[in-house]
Amino acid sequence: MPEVDLRQQTVRDLNEALHRLSRQTNETDWQVLHPNGQHSLAVGIDAPVTVRIKGHVGYYCAGMNKDATVIIDGNAGVGCAENMMSGRVHVKGDVSQAAGATAQGGLLIVDGNASARCGISMKGADIVVKGNIGPMSAFMAQAGNLVVLGDAGEALGDSLYETRIFVRGAVKSLGADCVEKPMGEEEKAILSQVLELAGIADDVRPEAFRFYGSARRLYHFNVDHAEEY
């Protein structure tokens, strides 16, 4: 198994090695040691490999990931898995702000808590947070699913487009144009599928969640809603 020790090698060495991999590579299991909160680790991967990072990471870990599985045995900094296209990013600890920002595909799993703006402008990814999420999460979120097993902070789903938000715990407040909606069979099926993907379908029932979506009142400007702009 290829191993990169970031006490001996640089972030550049790591990313260069990962970028050199062809999609048919046999070197599919990578281990990264001593990340010590460094930024931009395992970014821009474009191959179906698994990278396990043993420790806490800084900003933008696994940014723009395609097809890779990145596992972080620790906490992740700002913008973890930002603009992910596909693949899977699993953070065993907490994530900082803007986790999964603008992510277009793939699955981000956070075992701990996510702080502010989780899933901001997300564009199609699935994000599963087992703990709580911070304020302004799913701000301007466009597509995909945000699933939260714990509680959500203030202004959830502000200026939401079509992302589906499922929260099992309490929601401190909803942002402009975000409303609770009845969970229909379609949403329940989608939620079940995401829980299944995240490997927690056996422990977590879809019925325990409440479903939030866009009221679509900001889709066309109306002077009587001006205070929400």
Partner 1 sequence: MSRTLPRFSATFDPYTISQIQRAAATGIYDIRGAGAKRKLPHFDDLLFLGASISRYPLEGYREKCGTNVVLGARFAKKPIELKIPITLAGMSFGALSANAKEALGLAATAMGTSTTTGDGGMTSEERQSSKTLVYQYLPSRYGMNPDDLRKADAIEVVIGQGAKPGGGGMLLGQKITPRVARMRVLPEGIDQRSACRHPDWTGPDDLEIKIGELREITDWEKPIYVKVGASRPYYDTALAVKSGADVVVLDGMQGGTAATQEVFIENVGLPILAAIRPAVQALQDLDMHRKVQLIVSGGIRTGADVAKALALGADAVAIGTAALIALGDNDPRHAAEYAELGTEPGAYDDWHEGNDPAGITTQRPELTARLDPETAGRRLRNYLSVLTLEAQTIARACGKSHVHNLEPEDLVALTVEAAAMAGVPLAGTNWIPGTPLG
Partner 2 sequence: MCGIVGLFLKGKRLESELGALVAAMLETMSERGPDSAGFAVFGEGEDGRVKLTLRLVDVDADSVLADAAGVLGCGVCGQMRETHLVLSIPAEEEVKARFWAEGRPDLVLVGVGNRMELYKEVGAPADVARRFGLQAMSGTHAIGHTRMATESAVTTAGAHPFSTGKDQCLVHNGSLSNHNDLRRRLRRGGMRFETENDSEVAAAYLTSRMAGGLSLGQALEAGLGELDGFYTFVCGTAGGFAVLRDPISCKPAVMAETDDYVAFGSEYRALVPLPDIESARVFEPEPAHVYAWERH
Contact footprint for partner 2 (CB under 8 A): 36-38, 56-59, 75, 77-78, 93-94, 96-97, 113, 115-116, 134-136, 153
Distance CA 92, CA 156 (A): 24
Q: Does 66 sit near partner 1 (CB under 8 A)?
A: yes
In the bound complex, what is the minimum distance in angstroms from residue 116's beta carbon to partner 1?
11
Q: Does 23 sit near partner 1 (CB under 8 A)?
A: no
Between 54 and 181, name the residue whose CB sits nearer to partner 2: 54
The CA–CA distances, whole Å, from 107 to 71, 126, 209 equal 12, 5, 19
Q: Does 226 sit near partner 1 (CB under 8 A)?
A: yes
Q: Does 175 sit near partner 1 (CB under 8 A)?
A: no
Q: Helix, strand, or coil here: 122?
A: coil
Question: For the sheet containing 69-72, what is the strand order?
Answer: 3-5, 29-33, 50-54, 69-72, 88-91, 107-110, 123-129, 143-148, 164-167, 210-214, 178-181
158 in Cβ contact with 137 (< 8 Å): no
Between 75 and 145, name the residue whose CB sits nearer to partner 2: 75
Q: Does 56 sit near partner 1 (CB under 8 A)?
A: no
210 exposure class (CB count in 10 Å sphere: 0-12, 13-18, 19+): middle
Q: Residue 157: name its binding partner from partner 2, partner 1, none (Cβ under 5 to 8 Å by kind).
A: none
In one-letter notation, the amino acid at residue 187 is: E
Residue numbers at the binding site for partner 1 (CB under 8 A): 11-12, 15-16, 19, 39-40, 43-44, 46, 58-60, 63-64, 66, 78-79, 82-83, 85, 97-98, 101-102, 104, 117, 120-121, 123-124, 139-140, 142-143, 159, 161-162, 218-221, 223, 226
